[in-house]
Chains A and B, each alone.
Chain A
Amino acid sequence: MLGRTLREVSTALKQGHITPTELCQKCLSLIKKTKFLNAYITVSEEVALKQAEESEKRYKKGHSLGDLDGIPVAVKDNFSTSSIETTCASNMLKGYVPPYNATVVQKLLDKGAVLMGKTNLDEFAMGSGSTDGVFGPVKNPWSYSKQYREKRKQKAHGENEDSNWLITGGSSGGSAAAVAAFTCFAALGSDTGGSTRNPAAHCGVVGFKPSYGLVSRHGLIPLVNSMDVPGILTRCVDDAAIVLGMLAGHDPKDSTTIQDPVKPFTLPTSADVNKLCIGIPKEYLAPELSSEVRSFWSKAANLFESEGAKVIEVSLPHTSYSIVCYHVLCTSEVASNMARFDGLEYGHRCDINVSTEAMYAATRREGFNDVVRGRILSGNFFLLKENYENYFIKAQKVRRLIANDFVNVFNSGVDVLLTPTTLSEAVPYLEFIKEDNRTRSAQDDIFTQAVNMAGENLTSAIPEPHAKEPEQLHVTSFSYLPMTNELAGIIETFVVT
């Protein structure tokens, strides 16, 4: 039951094959069994059971709230949840209990979803491995898959079974792991530079990044105001569409949400790709791309072509600069956003009482880890009067060039772009920590962040048919770990038609 899709389980609930309470208890027990993954920071057991009970009452009366009623979900710990601790995996917010729900959380709860808990992440969503939070790193459930364990046994004998576990990617690693480990059917992540799609790719689940402005950011503790969006993680694309339908739409509490009405939609049961034009950006063929990912990319492109789609090469000329541009804009906005943490109104506060400045300084030193402090300092550097024009404004200009690249490509008849999400499959933690956070982010975000800066495009990380997707592509076992392709624009195509 726990391995089913959201739609299947929802049907099962409606037909009475299982009750919300039973489902909730199964998930809670699986969460306990998979505690070693460290996917959850807070498991909201009592809240979940209460919500499940209420859902059950609704089903009994025949008044279900829809497809999400009674469905266990998880939420990344940088979304505010009323009366449930929200930490952003940081000492700065340990013990912080928000007095309100983020809009997206509220929407899920209004539709009857059952909140299993808050998931682990990199501190303040800064990172690409979910390794830098104060509650420890998240382990990729695939580290414990039969194939991976067998592969490792062949390589090293007598090595401690657990020492070579794989990272989940980040920063929404906890959410991705929670979905991949079947402890919930959907999870919320956040996506600023790929933080939903990267872990989705590494954990073999679907990671969906909506267009900027489609989903409300109210209650999402901000990282980069001009690029953040809440992300959706599920086990199949159809599930992501269901959740998106519930979350999308204007929110008066977030003035950056667009006011256009959002029409409810369902994905067609069989996709007709005959009229689709798929672009392959040639600049994404990076030398660091692993051969397995490259081969999957080819396979996916060939698959579409064989089904009748037009597959052409396109160019996004400023691709090589996008990660640099992202780095400058991200750190600059972070420097501004992190200024709110001073210990006065919420969060950690140190004991120094000599002066406000001394108190702020010590509080921030104790509350933030090196990664966060590093980004704040870099951001402040780029925002200095003497550097503002040459770094920040320059990066904003380059951002326009990058956004224009996408606009030009989509105006030339291309409907979707097909690219890899990550350079390679999930790496072992011991390998990952050999480089610092900034270097890793620069390497790992390479494919994902350009779309955040362009904002307009919908992006999804769709796992190769490892899991279930059927008929078409038969996956051979030369890769035993999930790997995904990004299909920028594909959901938009379905929505539009």
Chain B
Amino acid sequence: MSSLLSAPSALREDALRRLKREMWARAVKLGLRSWVGWRRGFTSKADPQRSGRVTAEVIEHLERLALVDFGSLEAVARLEKAIAFADRLRAVDTDGVEPMESVLEDRCLYLRSDNVVEGNCAEELLQNAHRVVEEYFVAPPGNISLPKQDEQEPFSHI
């Protein structure tokens, strides 16, 4: 790894990209194949029934934000129907109307005094997690974003 750090930046970038692809390939092997796989059919099929509101960019954006995948064209069609349904709201005249966040907007939220009244239940809480080390929840490495559509390797070599 130290040789990587001391290499010129272009080489470093390249090495990082390779690392990313390898890790991603491993992940795909472990089961994320269908996460990306379903989208391969997306751009190539043009469904005349769909309004086209939900473009490939929107899909990718939503999947990344929500960390939940559509999984199929039917799911995209369902979203489009949901959007069309929601569009009916445009017909309502809301000029001068304030948005309503809560029905209790005329009341003050209850605030209690800032004293410790409960806690010390780390053991109980840790019991529900799958991976724990001492009193830590164990997470995989962060700051590695899901690859974009064009960064994916073809699957033939896996």
Contacts and interface: CB of A to CB of B under 8 A. Distances in A.
B155 interface: no
Interface in B75-110: 75, 78-79, 81-83, 85-86, 88-92, 94, 97-104, 107, 109-110
Interface stretch (A21-29, A44-52, A250-258): A250-258
A365 B71 contact: yes
Q: Chain A at the B interface: mostly helix, strand, loop or mixed? A: helix
A252 B110 contact: yes
B65 interface: yes
Contact of B89 (A353, A394, A442): A394
Interface string A341-364: 011111101111111111111101
A125 B83 CA distance: 22
Interface in A425-484: 436, 438, 442, 453-456
Interface stretch (A234-242, A262-270, A369-377): A369-377
A99 B120 CA distance: 13
Contacts of A357: 67, 142, 144-146
Interface residues on B, range: 35 or more
Interface of B is mostly: loop
Interface stretch (A60-68, A301-309, A325-333): A325-333
A391 B89 contact: yes
Contacts of B142: 355-357
A377 B75 contact: yes
B112 A252 contact: yes
Interface in A367-396: 368, 370, 373-374, 376-378, 380-382, 384, 390-391, 393-396
B63 to A, nearest CB: 8
A390 B35 CA distance: 30
Given A226-B103, A250-B110, A354-B27, A374 B128 contact: no
A364 B79 CA distance: 18
Contacts of B140: 352-356, 358-359
A290 interface: no
B141 interface: yes
Contact of B69 (A331, A342, A373, A442): A373
A493 interface: no
B88 A321 contact: yes
Contacts of A99: 121, 124-125, 127-128
A361 B71 CA distance: 12
A345 B137 CA distance: 7
Contacts of B71: 365, 370, 373
26 contacts: A99-B127, A212-B103, A212-B104, A213-B104, A255-B110, A327-B82, A345-B129, A346-B128, A352-B140, A354-B30, A355-B143, A358-B146, A361-B35, A361-B146, A377-B66, A377-B75, A381-B54, A381-B79, A381-B82, A381-B83, A391-B89, A394-B90, A396-B99, A397-B97, A397-B99, A400-B98
Given A325-B89, A361-B63, A380-B65, 17 more contacts: A96-B128, A99-B121, A99-B125, A213-B107, A256-B109, A258-B104, A259-B110, A327-B86, A343-B130, A345-B137, A355-B141, A361-B67, A368-B68, A396-B99, A397-B99, A399-B99, A455-B103
Interface of A: 96-97, 99, 212-213, 226, 250, 252, 255-259, 318, 321, 324-325, 327-328, 331, 335, 342-347, 349-362, 364-365, 368, 370, 373-374, 376-378, 380-382, 384, 390-391, 393-401, 403, 436, 438, 442, 453-456
Interface of B: 23-24, 26-27, 30-32, 35, 54, 58, 61-63, 65-71, 75, 78-79, 81-83, 85-86, 88-92, 94, 97-104, 107, 109-112, 121, 124-125, 127-131, 137, 139-146
